Structure 1
């Protein structure tokens, strides 16, 4: 059994916890008691292994699939503006916090000081992660740092603490974790660098959340992000992964079976031997699981390979597919199927399968050999924290603070561009000539750093595609109106035969009326107006019935608290305009 499987076995083999989400249950241990446990390093390790259940189980792209990054057969309620207040559930669950606080109440009886420091750090990290996830979803929350007794009515019915208080507690937990966690590199277990990466993320999120709502004090959070990011960039064992192969390195970072320890700080492990898989191959290659596709506006935002803007060209939106993807940022051809694409381990070029993607831009990130195409059989480890995100956090936080320099760009975003052999991002040039295409998406970006902030957002959306960031980025930027823009796909001027591989052979036929009698094996046939819809400009319209969508600026950035929770705790207030 390899190291990854050993780690995964330790994390999943022993369940110490009750299944209840009830805050009243202060005894999460079902077969052992606090009096006989928490005495040794092994006890602390065994208990904290259970915290890793917080990682996503079968996917890591939900934050993309509910937004304009990944469009599916059914549009999400978030992008349609049709979310409702649930009766129960809705993400308002506290099981993990109960387990974490129970551990922190009991673990200090262990006499192994080194173990107490490290595993105490693990618990503080996970409590910070728990509250950050809840903060992003619901905003202000009641803070609990100890188990709650069933008769503690005051605690059970306390109102929300302020958002500022919750963020301060999250950062306090992370600082405790950073000071006490081990610094040994470990791709599957929390260490000091994992806590620094989360602090980098938290500081950027809250700093920009507050700035774009014109609230004072946002600088403190951005500075926290900068300091944590810089510590990781300058003093950690992680680097931006590159082998000097710009047309493969980005793709191979994500379709390797085992997490790349050069760049990935922490990953969620999957294993064929242990029959633990996820669904990315099945999700992206079949016609029966959502038919996910990248959107036209995101494809448009990829720069040309010489660093120029694709959207500066006349009629860029009516460029045939082969020309559209030619000489672009190499990450485009390493994220979606483009001419020359072959499955991992195979040599047959494949056209985009319009039956498996509603936009025509078929996703290949994380996709591996066809043997893993069955549902939940993919075994690529999924990154949770990687240095690529941290350098983006660093550049953005400094840009929003107004302290960004060219040196900062060269030690952050330009390392990502170097991996794919793209020209460096230039601070002065970006600010002198802001991109109109990007500015139209993010209309509230202003000031002297407008141009470079827009470029950083372009870079972030491209580099972190399908890594669960898009929804949170839209929320913190107060950019919900981007989700109401038209959703489009490939350009087809009308019925006809089309080559999508560049080999001068027909791959797709769009027809009107009856299906052609002389069909060719291997060619995709789609009836216009039935199998495929085109708008007035010839762009694939995957959802012609939902072209009038709304985003309520006064409501939709937060999720509603379930009705039952408001009944159980009358001191909780519903989020604005969800009543």
Structure 2
């Protein structure tokens, strides 16, 4: 939340997480006022709609990615394949936020508010959040009941409503977003929803839906191209507005624009790129746990996965995985002369923390793979539990550029000019060569093709390159990777072994090549403590050598016939027999 703007009224205190059942649907959103006496002034509209901001993603969601990009000491049910049908689910299958939004939209005092522009601005805000709410529901469940009104006690038809087709719901989401775009304010804001935020959300939503429909042919959904064109149009409108550009400043904490986009303590210095952020403040006690999560030995030990590290290009734009023997290079050699974003995402030899002068080597006690994340990190003074207070990014211009390029590539309308106004800017920020459309399609990367098995056609090469760019640019942001794998129908990647650094044998290793050992790989019994991290050779994927293999005792599975959607809770199926379970989930 921001420093002062998101001060929630007593209305929000009455909002509780609950399942979509009859008791919930019969409740009024609050008991502290009546519709007849409220919503008489703009301040009333503002006070009520402020509560909607609580529905934005949490800090943990923003930075806590843990799928095949980032490996942790434990794995979620989505990765292990052990996903049971829940009895109840007050997180995903929670409909209270929608009731509060629809209560506002259907209030006669709101509908009849005398100032049309003010009324439509706040209705646009409410419809933005309704679109966001339903986008989440569709991503998780597919078909869901569409509710545009508050359900009353005697409304048996809606209380026992079946799931509406995904097509109806997503058309309704699109209508909500278009209304929001037309009526929200145009003044830029780092913490308030504006026309530009709505365009960014529309860009994200329509890319997701267009590619889902294209690749998930088992659902027989039409209009993939319509949604992809909506993505192109929304992205281009935002790009053509002149409101935003990539942050390229050199006056941040490190002087490296990509690093400083995330390491800045506040959003103001990077406001050229940030469309919407989540605000924090040490003075107001608004903090999160980011740096403790990345640096502690007890919070999952996150580390980047080997296939992601392999995906970073060489600094000259050539492919790392084209180098003979790339898969057995040791850490020091494999990270030399790579895309600078690699060294701005994980620790490389010689890395120092912001505000420090001493070198901070890889700490294997804090990372599962050896590829230790540094994206988002600022000074070490914030490393203790719940002591981080840097602002976090929810929507940024860089994502819009990627959405634009991908949608056009999937449509088959991408030109080199389109790449020059999107991918070129992202690569140029870190000094990387531009992407060539002709070269990419003439010589698709076999390594990327081996991961993304569903890409084909004349644009295969450039689609693979845009996916590479997206994965690298957006890693550890807003769980983008999960959404990408689901919409591309590439969930099989979650069921493969997750790996880390390569070691050619047992012994001690000087990772930074500076004369100091950081890790000892041992055979047999653990030797006496030597002041360095010690790891048994059994944690490598071959008998006496190999890559670190993580979570080796967990068999990961992903069922193509089931796991792209979540199951509906059993209790809700019991309460409403007109609801049906998703395919593959046995009740």
TM-score normalised to structure 2 length: 0.94
Q: Equivalent residue of 2:438, what SS? A: helix
Q: Equivalent residue of 2:276, what SS? A: strand
* Other-structure match for 2:512: 501
Q: Deviations over 1:23-67 (max 9, x none)?
A: 4244212322222211111111111110111122331347831x2
Q: Equivalent residue of 1:15, what SS? A: helix
Q: Deviations over 1:411-442 (max 9, x none)?
A: 11111001001000110000000000000001
2:315/2:340 contact within 8 Å kept: yes
Q: Equivalent residue of 2:492, what SS? A: helix
2:321 corresponds to 1:324: no
**Judging changes above 3 Å, is the alpha-carbon distance between structure 1 residues 180 and 148 closer, same or farther for their aligned structure 2 residues?**
same
| 1:356 pairs with one of 355, 366, 371 | 366
Q: Deviations over 1:225-277 (max 9, x none)?
A: 00000001111411111126997211110011112211010011111112122
| 2:3 pairs with one of 5, 8, 13 | 5
What is the CA-CA distance between 1:495 and the residue it aligns to? 1.7
* Other-structure match for 1:484: 495
**Judging changes above 3 Å, is the alpha-carbon distance between structure 1 residues 439 and 157 closer, same or farther for their aligned structure 2 residues?**
same
2:305 corresponds to 1:281: no
* Gapped regions of structure 2 (runs ≥ 5): none
What is the CA-CA distance between 1:99 and the residue it aligns to? 0.5
* Other-structure match for 1:552: 559
2:9/2:48 contact within 8 Å kept: no
Distance 1:12 1:460 in 2: 39
Q: Deviations over 1:49-98 (max 9, x none)?
A: 10111122331347831x21111111221111111100001611101000
2:81 corresponds to 1:85: no
Compute the RMSD of aligned alpha carbons.
1.9
1:301/1:310 contact within 8 Å kept: yes
**Number of equivalenced pairs:** 570
What is the CA-CA distance between 1:112 and the residue it aligns to? 3.1
| 2:345 pairs with one of 325, 335, 349 | 335
Distance 2:9 2:343 in 1: 36
Distance 2:432 2:250 in 1: 12
**Judging changes above 3 Å, is the alpha-carbon distance between structure 1 residues 247 and 302 closer, same or farther for their aligned structure 2 residues?**
farther
Distance 2:80 2:186 in 1: 44
What is the CA-CA distance between 1:555 and the residue it aligns to? 0.3
2:536 corresponds to 1:524: no
Distance 1:265 1:564 in 2: 39
What is the CA-CA distance between 1:553 and the residue it aligns to? 0.7
2:204 corresponds to 1:184: no
* Other-structure match for 1:538: 546
Q: Equivalent residue of 1:540, what SS? A: strand
Distance 1:63 1:84 in 2: 23
| 2:226 pairs with one of 205, 220, 228 | 220
What is the CA-CA distance between 1:13 and the residue it aligns to? 8.2
More off after superposition, 355-364 vs 127-136: 355-364
**Judging changes above 3 Å, is the alpha-carbon distance between structure 1 residues 13 and 147 closer, same or farther for their aligned structure 2 residues?**
closer
* Other-structure match for 2:116: 113
1:184/1:191 contact within 8 Å kept: yes
* Other-structure match for 1:368: 378
Q: Deviations over 1:441-487 (max 9, x none)?
A: 01110000000000000000111101111111111001111112221
| 1:19 pairs with one of 16, 20, 29 | 16
1:11/1:52 contact within 8 Å kept: no
TM-score normalised to structure 1 length: 0.95
* Other-structure match for 1:46: 47
* Other-structure match for 1:157: 160
1:244/1:419 contact within 8 Å kept: no
Q: Equivalent residue of 2:476, what SS? A: coil
1:193/1:236 contact within 8 Å kept: no
Q: Deviations over 1:162-185 (max 9, x none)?
A: 111001000000000000000100
Distance 2:9 2:385 in 1: 21
* Gapped regions of structure 1 (runs ≥ 5): none
